C-alpha cells in the first residue's frame, strides 16, 4: 500500500492509479483505494465514480503516450531511423502500453481524440496569448517612438492553433504517418506499402512486443530489452527500402 497518498490531491491519485490499473484493469474503487493508501471516500470525493476515475487515468495515459512519441524527435533524421526511435521511446511507458493493448483497453481511440482536442485548444490559447503580448509590446514601442506604425496586425500563423510543424496538435497516428511518408520520400522506407498500413503495422508490432515482454517468464529488464530488439528488427525488415 502506498503511504502518505491520503494527503495528496487529484493529480497524484490519477498518477498512482495508472500502474495499479495496468496490473489489474478490473480493480474496483476499493482495490484502488487500498493500493493508493487512501479511503474509498477520498476517491469518490475526487472522481464521483469508478468510470470517471478510469476516464482520467485513460487521458493521462494518452498524454504520456504522446509525450513519449514526441520525445523520439520524429522530425529528425531519416524516416526509418525516426520510426525506430519512436519504438524505443514508447517502450519507456510500459504501463501505458498495457492499458492500450489489453483485451479490454482503457485507453481507446476516443481517448486519443479527446486528448488531441485538448492539445489543439491549449496550443490555440497559448498562441493567442503570445500574439496579444506581441501586439501590446509593439504598441508600447510605437508610443515610445511616437510613430504611427502598425500595431501588430500581422500574424505568424500561430493563432491557427498549430505549433511548430503542427507536431503538438496532430494525432499520434497522423504524426507517425507523416514520418513514414517522409521515410518513403527519403528512400529509407519502402514505397511498396501504403502509409496507413505501415503506421498500423508499427503500432501493432509495438503492442505485440510489449505484450511478449509482459508475459515472458524471464527477468523484466531482459524481457523488455529482448522485446524491443525484436520489435525494431521486425519493423526494419518489413519497412526498410530494398538496397539500403
Residue 29 and residue 108 share a domain: no
Number of domains in the chain: 2
Considering the domain architecture, whether residues 43 and 62 belong to the same structural domain is answered as no
Closest CA to 184 of 79, 96, 50, 88: 79
For cell 503538438, name the residue: 168
Claim to verify: residue 22 and residue 57 sit in the same structural domain: no
Measuring CA to CA, how many Å separate 173 from each of 69, 83, 137, 191? 10, 12, 39, 18
Long-range contact set of residues 20-25: C-beta below 8 Å, sequence gap at least 24: 21/54, 21/57, 21/99, 21/106, 22/94, 22/95, 22/96, 22/98, 22/99, 25/99, 25/102, 25/104, 25/106
What is the per-residue pLDDT across 185-234, written as a single tens digit (0 to 9) for each?
999 999 999 999 999 999 999 999 999 888 876 657 788 899 999 999 99
40 and 67, same domain (yes or no)? no
**Are the C-beta atoms of residues 54 and 22 closer than 8 Å to each other?**
no
| 86 is a domain residue | yes
Collapsing DSSP to helix, strand or coil, 167 comes out as: coil
pTM, entire model: 0.78
- Summarize pLDDT for 100-111 with one digit per residue, the tens: 998 889 999 999
Co-location of 103 and 133 in the same domain: yes
Asked if residue 102 and residue 169 are part of one domain, the reply reads yes
What CATH number is attached to the domain comprising 32?
Answer: 1.10.10
Per-residue pLDDT tens, the chain, 244 aa: give them. 444 444 668 999 999 999 999 999 999 999 999 999 999 999 999 999 999 999 999 999 999 999 999 999 999 999 999 999 999 999 999 999 999 998 889 999 999 999 988 888 888 888 888 888 888 888 788 777 765 555 444 444 444 444 444 444 566 678 999 999 999 999 999 999 999 999 999 999 999 999 988 887 665 778 889 999 999 999 999 999 997 7
Is the domain of 32 the same as that of 106? no
Residues 115, 220 within the same domain? yes
Are 152 and 110 found together in one domain?
Answer: yes
Do 40 and 60 have their domain in common? no
The DSSP symbol for 163 reads: -
The number of beta carbons lying within 10 Å of the beta carbon of residue 93 is: 20
Per cent of the chain over pLDDT 90 is 64
For residue 181, CA distances in Å to 26, 196, 198, 215, 235 come to 39, 9, 10, 33, 15
Angle, CA of 131, 162 and 139, to the nearest 5°: 10
User: Is 244 inside any structural domain?
Assistant: no
Domain range holding 187?
Answer: 49-239
Amino acid at each position: 500500500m502506498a503511504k502518505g497518498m491520503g494527503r495528496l490531491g487529484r493529480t497524484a491519485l490519477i498518477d498512482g492509479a495508472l500502474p495499479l490499473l495496468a496490473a489489474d484493469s478490473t480493480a474496483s474503487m476499493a482495490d484502488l483505494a487500498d493500493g493508493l493508501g487512501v479511503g474509498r471516500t477520498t476517491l469518490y470525493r475526487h472522481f464521483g465514480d469508478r468510470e470517471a476515475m478510469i476516464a482520467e487515468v485513460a487521458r493521462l495515459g494518452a498524454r504520456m503516450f504522446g509525450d513519449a512519441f514526441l520525445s523520439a524527435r520524429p522530425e529528425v533524421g531519416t524516416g526509418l531511423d525516426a520510426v525506430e526511435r519512436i519504438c524505443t521511446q514508447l517502450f519507456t511507458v510500459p504501463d501505458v502500453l498495457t492499458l492500450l493493448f489489453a483485451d479490454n483497453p482503457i485507453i481507446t481511440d476516443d481517448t486519443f481524440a479527446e486528448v488531441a482536442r485538448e492539445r489543439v485548444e491549449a496550443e490555440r490559447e497559448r498562441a493567442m496569448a503570445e500574439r496579444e503580448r506581441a501586439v501590446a509590446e509593439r504598441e508600447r514601442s510605437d508610443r515610445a517612438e511616437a510613430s504611427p506604425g502598425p500595431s501588430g496586425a500581422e500574424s505568424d500563423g500561430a493563432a491557427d492553433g498549430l505549433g511548430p510543424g503542427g507536431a503538438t496538435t496532430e494525432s499520434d497516428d497522423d504524426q507517425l504517418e507523416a514520418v513514414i511518408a517522409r521515410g518513403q520520400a527519403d528512400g529509407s522506407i519502402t514505397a511498396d506499402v501504403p502509409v496507413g498500413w505501415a503506421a498500423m503495422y508499427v503500432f501493432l508490432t509495438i503492442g505485440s512486443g510489449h505484450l511478449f515482454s509482459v508475459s515472458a517468464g524471464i527477468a523484466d529488464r531482459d524481457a523488455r530489452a529482448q522485446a524491443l530488439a525484436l520489435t525494431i528488427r521486425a519493423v526494419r525488415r518489413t519497412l526498410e527500402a530494398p538496397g539500403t
